[in-house]
Amino acid sequence: MYNIKDLVRDVKDYPKPGIVFKDITPVLSDIDALR
């Protein structure tokens, strides 16, 4: 079983300084995590 939070990446200072962007691309590319 996957913990989705472990797959979500933090991208700091994107798109502006002080913003933390949550990148869910790894979740979408992992078929087992989507089940």
Q: What is the pLDDT of residues 1-21, one digit of tens each?
A: 678 999 999 999 999 999 999
Q: Which two tokens stand for residue 5?
A: 């939070």
Q: pLDDT band for position 33 (50/70/90)?
A: confident
Model's pTM, two decimal places?
A: 0.74
- CA R_g for the chain: 11
Continuous segment of H or E residues that includes residue 25: helix 25-29
> What are the domain boundaries of the chain?
1-35
